[in-house]
Amino acid sequence: MSAFAYRNGILHAEDLPLDRLIEEVGTPAFVYSRADLQAAYRRFAGALQDAGLDARICYAVKANPHLAVIRSFAELGAGADVVSEGELRRALAAGVPADRIVFAGVGKSDGEMALGLETGILQFNVESREELLRLDAVARGLGKTAPVALRVNPDVDAKTHAKITTGKSENKFGIDIRDIPELLQLAGGLPGLAIKGLAVHIGSQITQLEPFEAAFRRVAELFTEMRSAGHPLEHLDMGGGLGIAYQGESLPSVEDYAAVVRRTVGQLGVPLVFEPGRHLVGEAGLLLARVLFVKQGRSRRFLILDAAMNDLLRPALYDAWHEIQPLREAAPDATRQPFDVVGPVCESGDIFAAGRPLPEMAAGDALAFRSAGAYGATMASTYNSRLPAPEIMVSGSHYSIIRARPSHEQLMAQETLPDWL
């Protein structure tokens, strides 16, 4: 059951009517339900535990890096998966213990490596020979030993959007599975490194179990071989990627996912790390917007909103589909007409939905884009000098503005004019 539902004809977040909220905070605005964030975490963790797995969950911060979101998971015992210095600092600031932080990503700078070493993170997921050598040098320079997992590219098609598939050999991610034995050998001889395990992450918004199954089997086989060859592999990092139902489609449950994990890697008998992002935050957030105009074109009707691609990039970037719900529930027998739902940004790509059947709407009406908690606010920009949408966290009938809408003066204050201009 989602925290976002109609009550008395008004869309609510938990016990808070959203029409009242936007009177106070304006639009566009992101809204997160704390209850739904924590429920998603508990379901995910519970399913792995029920499958008898020794699992550590490291929330993938990039899906939604707000401190309040990270802290909501940290309170439940979550670690963090980070891909930059900024995310590492956020995870620490939100209260995630350093020894529960995994540092992933294909391009870590010396400074980022040093920060991870100095704070004592759980491990670096290393994605190339070049990175392995660099991390060894940085660690030795600091008199430290870097805990390392090698990220395996298993050459498996995740069957998701091309821009979020990461486990094919032509992708920039991970180390070709055939090169792992040689790199483990190399790493074993580098005094600045301590090999801890292997990692795999094949993509995002994965909606079938077969790609996971194929990737996990390959990695389990490799793990067994490498352990037999004498490499001290202690744990396995399974990545994230489990999708959510944007269109109400039927998806594998977390229980089905846990069963696949159990039958593919369970027999290894090692602790497992999981890095879910979208699955924990996607459905716990929405983006609120208002209709500025209903524009009647020659052949199409446009719903022009005050939200745009700079607020929610996923439709423009990934052809993503988000459910659109009016804040005032339409009558069950209301007729629906196709609308092109667009923003005000000067790009033809600034379109949220084409020909979407919606009940009659008028200027001033408010609506919600569902499942905008993941890869929403975090991908936002100020393109067209639009102000970033505020973020609001709801708990029960309370809410807190967890990031305020800045003023234009504040945005411009970040720029300086050269004194010769």
Q: Given the rule CB under 6 A, which of 24-32, 274-282, 298-306, 347-355 is the region that contacts ligand PLP? A: 274-282
Q: Which is nearer to ligand PLP, 89 or 172 (CB)?
A: 172
User: What is the distance between the alpha carbons of residues 390 and 31, in angstroms, rounded to a whole number?
Assistant: 9
User: What is the distance between the alpha carbons of residues 52 and 263, in angstroms, rounded to a whole number?
Assistant: 11
Among 36, 81, 87, 306, binds ligand PLP (CB under 6 A): 81
CB 379, CB 316: distance < 8 Å: no
Question: How many chain residues touch ligand PLP (CB under 6 A)?
Answer: 16
Instruction: Give yes or no for residue 60 binding ligand PLP (CB under 6 A).
Output: yes
Instruction: Give yes or no for residue 201 binding ligand PLP (CB under 6 A).
Output: yes
Please state the closest distance from residue 105 (CB atom) to ligand PLP, in A: 7
Instruction: Give yes or no for residue 276 binding ligand PLP (CB under 6 A).
Output: yes
Angle, alpha carbons 380-381-386 (nearest 5°): 115
User: What is the distance between the alpha carbons of residues 85 and 73, in angstroms, rounded to a whole number?
Assistant: 20
Q: Which is nearer to ligand PLP, 282 or 390 (CB)?
A: 282
Q: Which is nearer to ligand PLP, 276 or 315 (CB)?
A: 276
Establish whether 347 is an annotated binding residue.
Answer: yes
Q: Given the rule CB under 6 A, which of 235-243, 262-270, 302-310, 314-322 is the region that contacts ligand PLP? A: 235-243
User: What is the distance between the alpha carbons of residues 105 and 398, in angstroms, rounded to a whole number?
Assistant: 37
The residues with which 79 forms a beta bridge, in sequence order, are 58
Q: Which is nearer to ligand PLP, 27 or 166 (CB)?
A: 166
Kindly give the pairing relationship between strand 272-274 and strand 16-17. unpaired
Instruction: Give yes or no for residue 80 binding ligand PLP (CB under 6 A).
Output: no
Establish whether 6 is an annotated binding residue.
Answer: no
User: What is the distance between the alpha carbons of residues 105 and 127, in angstroms, rounded to a whole number?
Assistant: 7
Q: Given the rule CB under 6 A, which of 14-22, 277-285, 296-304, 310-318 is the region that contacts ligand PLP? A: 277-285
Please state the closest distance from residue 406 (CB atom) to ligand PLP, in A: 27
Establish whether 409 is an annotated binding residue.
Answer: no
Q: Given the rule CB under 6 A, which of 116-124, 275-283, 338-346, 351-359 is the region that contacts ligand PLP? A: 275-283
Among 87, 127, 155, 275, binds ligand PLP (CB under 6 A): 275
User: What is the distance between the alpha carbons of residues 74 and 349, in angstroms, rounded to a whole number?
Assistant: 37
Give the number of other CB atoms < 10 A from CB of residue 110: 12
Tokens representing residue 308 in the block: 């745009």
At residue 96, what are phi and psi to the nearest 5 degrees? -80, 125
Q: Which is nearer to ligand PLP, 136 or 275 (CB)?
A: 275
Q: Which is nearer to ligand PLP, 196 or 278 (CB)?
A: 278
**Region 238-257 residues binding ligand PLP, contact defined as CB under 6 A:** 239-241
Catalytic residue among 162, 331, 346, 362: 346
Among 12, 56, 62, 386, binds ligand PLP (CB under 6 A): 62
SS3 226: helix
Site string for ligand PLP, 88-117 (x = CB under 6 A): ----------------x-------------
Establish whether 276 is an annotated binding residue.
Answer: yes
Cα–Cα distances (Å) from 242 to 235, 265, 274, 310, in that order, read 20, 17, 10, 25
Q: Which is nearer to ligand PLP, 13 or 374 (CB)?
A: 374
Active-site annotation holds for 346 = yes
Show contacts of 385-391: CB within 8 Å, 24+ apart. 385/411, 386/308, 386/310, 386/311, 386/345, 387/411, 388/311, 389/27, 389/28, 389/29, 389/30, 389/287, 389/307, 389/311, 390/25, 390/26, 390/29, 390/30, 391/29, 391/30, 391/31, 391/32, 391/66
Instruction: Give yes or no for residue 373 binding ligand PLP (CB under 6 A).
Output: no
Please state the closest distance from residue 172 (CB atom) to ligand PLP, in A: 11
Q: Which of 19, 10, 30, 24 is nearest to 364 (CA)?
A: 19
User: What is the distance between the alpha carbons of residues 109 and 90, in angstroms, rounded to a whole number?
Assistant: 17
Please state the closest distance from residue 14 (CB atom) to ligand PLP, in A: 24
Cα–Cα distances (Å) from 174 to 61, 105, 201, in that order, read 19, 9, 8
The residues with which 148 forms a beta bridge, in sequence order, are 124, 195
Please state the closest distance from residue 46 (CB atom) to ligand PLP, in A: 17
Cα–Cα distances (Å) from 365 to 10, 19, 175, 230, 331, in that order, read 12, 10, 50, 65, 15
Please state the closest distance from residue 284 (CB atom) to ligand PLP, in A: 13
Query: Would you name the residues annotated as active-site residues?
Result: 346
- Contacts with ligand PLP by CB under 6 A lie at 60, 62-63, 81, 83, 104, 201, 204, 239-241, 275-279
